[in-house]
Amino acid sequence: MKRISNIGIHIPTNDDNYINLDSLSSLSETDIAIISPDLALTSYSTYEGYSDNGKYEGKTLYNKDSSSRIIDHTKHWKAEILHFIENGGTLFVVLCRKTDFYIYTGTQSFSGTGRNQKTTNHVTPHSNYKYLPFSSFEFHSASGTTVYPNSSLVAELHKNCKDYFSFETYIKSDKITDTTFTTKNKDRILGASIALKKGFIVFLPYIDFRVNTLTKYNSKTNKTTWNAEGVKIGKLFLNSLAQIDKVLKQEQDKTPKPNWLAQNIFELSESALTEKKIAKLSEEILKKQKEIVKLEGVLEEQESLKDLLFETGKPLEKAVIKALTILGYSAENYDDGELELDQIILSPEGQRFIGECEGKESKDIDVSKFRQLLDGLNADFEKDSVEERASGLLFGNPQRLQAPNERSLSFTQKCQTGAKREQIGLVKTADLFDVCKYIVESKDKDFAKRCRDSISEQLGEIIRFPQLQ
């Protein structure tokens, strides 16, 4: 049975093989190692004597003794881990939170002379990920609660332990070819497997077994131990890692096929038929993938109308233009280098509007965007090519991250007063979504005309569209 050692991380049922990160322990008797460079379980200190002077430029500064030990332990684990992997070991790295801090270098500089002489102890930045010998990898902070498996290699591990995975750090490297865990959008690598000489490195998302559901507290002994569920999960976790190690080693033991095997003399008739079937299916898959990509583009365009409900900025501007087009207007962004407007809008009836959009997370649409629209209307009217002042429309999306039926905010009273004075229409984009959805699904052009009439007739107010039929 292979020996699994865990460095800097406690794993249920494997406490006998726990190794402190702040130690000079050897991995010579270890087959599989798990390391989490988490300094929370170390004895490093920021105290000098009885005072805590452990801050430098807003970050933790460890005292001189701890700094010296950190330097020694960093050198030790870099060398020990590299030796372990290069000689056939499999190292699992749990990507805990990245911690940047400062340590004393052990060097000094002096200024002044005699009694005025001043001694400066030099410090240098350090990180918990410097304990690892992977200079070609970048470790970046980002946190989240859900991780997504991206390889069959980790499918069983994720199935067994998904409730205890989260992420605190993601990795970047051009050496990564086999990604095992990602975020939902696959824009962050949370896990990967890499071969290094005779061994392997497997990065894992953060996993924490020190939770109430896996532990029990004994008030008499004042100790916390693993409960039955913790023991069960610990065994599943270790067995999953052992299985991953086995799969990696099996793949490694298989000799790569030599190039001369491609010669016709070695071709097997059954294999040739299977290869043709695979090629045909691959061609069909490629065709379907192209169709899917095309349909995804169509879906994205169709779904963009929903941006009226929750977006702000440019996405909201585009959604408003789409909605206005559905109502029968022509609408487009305008930017001539001097004047920039969210929308210039022209109705089939010949009425010209200028629109501005605003989305707010937890506030009413206020007068600041109203003033911006007013400035745009005036600047537009000053252009030689404009003979008649356009009407204004302010599209607002207040409380944009709440469901529309849960929203209570609108346009501020000051905004409504200004709109009445200047005859500017106030349009809630959630209301605009409802009528556009109906028009798209019913193809009711008469209803679209009634919506345009509502806008024209209610300038100076919050626009109320006709009731849906």
Residue 14, domain extent: 4-253
- Can you tell me whether residue 324 is helix, strand or coil? helix
Q: Is residue 465 part of a domain?
A: no
pLDDT for residue 433: 96
User: In terms of domains, do 319 and 282 share one?
Assistant: no
Extract the residue ranges of the chain whose pLDDT is less than 50.
none
- CA dihedral (71, 75, 81, 85) positive or negative: positive
Task: Dump pLDDT digits (tens) for 36-84.
Answer: 999 999 999 988 766 666 788 889 999 999 999 999 999 999 999 999 9
Q: Is residue 334 part of a domain?
A: yes
pLDDT for residue 52: 65
User: In terms of domains, do 246 and 308 share one?
Assistant: no
User: In terms of domains, do 266 and 242 share one?
Assistant: no
User: In terms of domains, do 294 and 438 share one?
Assistant: no
User: In terms of domains, do 268 and 235 share one?
Assistant: no
CA distances from 155 to 160, 205, 370 (A): 9, 13, 53
| Residue 64 structure tokens | 């001189």
pLDDT for residue 56: 87
User: In terms of domains, do 277 and 210 share one?
Assistant: no
Q: Is residue 462 part of a domain?
A: no
Q: Is residue 464 part of a domain?
A: no
User: In terms of domains, do 179 and 316 share one?
Assistant: no
User: In terms of domains, do 147 and 289 share one?
Assistant: no
User: In terms of domains, do 247 and 326 share one?
Assistant: no
CA 439 to chain CA centroid, nearest Å = 36
Q: Is residue 52 part of a domain?
A: yes
User: What is the total count of domains within the chain?
Assistant: 3
Final residue in a domain of this structure, among 302, 330, 359: 302
User: In terms of domains, do 232 and 282 share one?
Assistant: no
| Residue 164 structure tokens | 């205890």
- CATH value at residue 317: 3.40.1350.10
User: In terms of domains, do 130 and 207 share one?
Assistant: yes
CB–CB of 433/323 below 8 Å?
A: yes
Q: Is residue 62 part of a domain?
A: yes
CA distance 344 to 366: 22
Q: Is residue 173 part of a domain?
A: yes
User: In terms of domains, do 129 and 245 share one?
Assistant: yes
CB–CB of 147/167 below 8 Å?
A: yes
pLDDT for residue 106: 87
Q: Is residue 466 part of a domain?
A: no
Final residue in a domain of this structure, among 234, 253, 272: 253
CB–CB of 447/436 below 8 Å?
A: no
